[in-house]
Chains A and B, each alone.
Chain A
Amino acid sequence: MAEGITDLDMNSFDETIGSSDTPVLVDFWAEWCGPCKMIAPILEEIAVEQENIKIAKVNVDDSPDLARRYEIMSIPALIVFENGEPAKKLIGAKPKGALLEEIGEFL
């Protein structure tokens, strides 16, 4: 686990997301997904640089129920949760600048 990034599963998801006082960006990913690996270092940087948003990861192999609950059909998928509810969903790998722009309203 990278510093500043929390790994979530079915047991920890609701409590972590529900109790967060800042928005949480959740990265739905898997080991076999090339583009997921490409954005992993970008998310690690954002976790260190941005204080107003938390970063978490859900491995869809380990937590298929969470992937189903949020209707994930393509990864990497990034969902920003605000007050426990999904506020924005982004699909596909993007460069850092484009990603920061997309989540700008939460920073």
Chain B
Amino acid sequence: MNDIRDVIIIGSGPAGLTAAIYTARANMAPLVIEGEPSSTSDQPGGQLMLTTDVENFPGFPEGIMGPELMSNFRSQASRFGAEFITAKVTSVDFSERPFNIEVGETSYKSHTVIVSTGAQSLMLGLPNEDRLIGHGLSTCATCDGFFFRDQEIAVVGGGDSAVEEATFLTRFASKVYLVHRRDELRASKIMCQRAFDNPKIEILWNSQVAEIQGEGRLSGVILKDTLTEATRSLPVDGLFIAIGHRPNTDLFKGHLDLKENGYLVTEPNSSLTKVPGVFACGDVQDDYYRQAITAAGSGCMAAIDAERWLEEHQS
């Protein structure tokens, strides 16, 4: 592969695919390296692949399913000629132009790169966690909720995704404990009210999961009170984890500037990184808004920034 592309887009959530639509329509023939299938949010399509109804994306008055929305984004990019590789980038080299991107044994060269690798769900980091995934412990409420019909389960977290998962899981479970380490939720008001009004949801405030229990399958958790340090056991059949995200920036350490929390640094009101010709958009550089619509908006900005940069540097 000796052809030099105009633009390579790394990542395929709302930001990456919007950048693909815009750069494709600007005749830049984007190559999207979309990631690999997985059951975490680190997969083609990104975090929305694990959600159900997306109710706040403008243009869908009745809401739309997350995976369907992402499939629409992808089709729209394809229609204008975006190409896709279903793989993960192994390494990048931004030290000289054209930039070099390695995917396994294959190298791709490009005049510009748009980084939109997003963020992935955090795990608790407790013993037994890896072993019990798929055996009562889940990273995907929409995939696994069905298997907990009439059972008691717990969701860990206090943000929008935790409250949304807890509410969704009441369709199946007889009881959903929402385990949150603080005394108030971070989720949006409308989501919180839904949880408060739902008789199947019980919020366990100031509580932290200290231990995950179970041999062949999950049998319960030990909770620690964050104020008194007192512990107690909570028998549950299922445990769903929604405690937040970390940006997928490991690939860019040493190549781009990272904030202390790991997010990529971009210049204010633009998608520019410290490397001219490399642009970043979506959750990988946004530790504040983190919405599908803001990611899509920043993907559009990155596409326009890349197009203008290319015009200036190719004439």
Residues of A in contact with B (beta carbons under 8 Å apart): 30, 32-39, 42, 60-61, 67, 71-77, 91-95
Contacts and interface: CB of A to CB of B under 8 A. Distances in A.
B143 interface: yes
Nearest to A99: B37
A43 B7 CA distance: 31
Given A34-B66, A73-B135, A92 B38 contact: yes
A22 B38 CA distance: 27
Contact of B67 (A34, A73, A74, A94): A34
B37 to A, nearest CB: 4
B43 A35 contact: yes
B274 to A, nearest CB: 32
Contact of B144 (A37, A75, A95): A75
A34 B134 contact: no
B39 interface: yes
Given A61-B146, A92-B133, A95-B38, 17 more contacts: A30-B146, A32-B65, A33-B140, A34-B67, A35-B38, A35-B50, A36-B143, A37-B67, A71-B217, A74-B134, A74-B147, A77-B134, A92-B134, A93-B37, A93-B39, A94-B37, A95-B36
15 contacts: A30-B146, A32-B65, A34-B143, A35-B49, A35-B143, A60-B146, A73-B135, A73-B136, A73-B238, A74-B144, A76-B39, A91-B133, A91-B134, A94-B38, A95-B88
B49 A74 contact: no
Contacts, number: 82
Contacts of A67: 147
B132 to A, nearest CB: 10
The 6 closest A-B pairs by CB, nearest first: A91-B134, A92-B39, A38-B37, A74-B134, A95-B36, A93-B37
B134 A38 contact: no
Interface string B273-314: 000000000000000000000000000000000000000000
Contacts of B238: 73
B45 interface: yes
B243 interface: no
Interface in B4-44: 36-39, 43-44
Nearest to B148: A73
A79 B86 CA distance: 24
Contact of A95 (B37, B67, B135): B37
Nearest to B147: A73
B138 A74 contact: yes
Given A35-B49, A42-B37, A93-B43, A75 B143 contact: yes
A33 B144 CA distance: 8
A73 B217 contact: yes
Contacts of B147: 67, 72-75
Contacts of A72: 147
A4 B277 CA distance: 46
Contacts of B136: 73
Contact of B43 (A38, A73, A75): A38
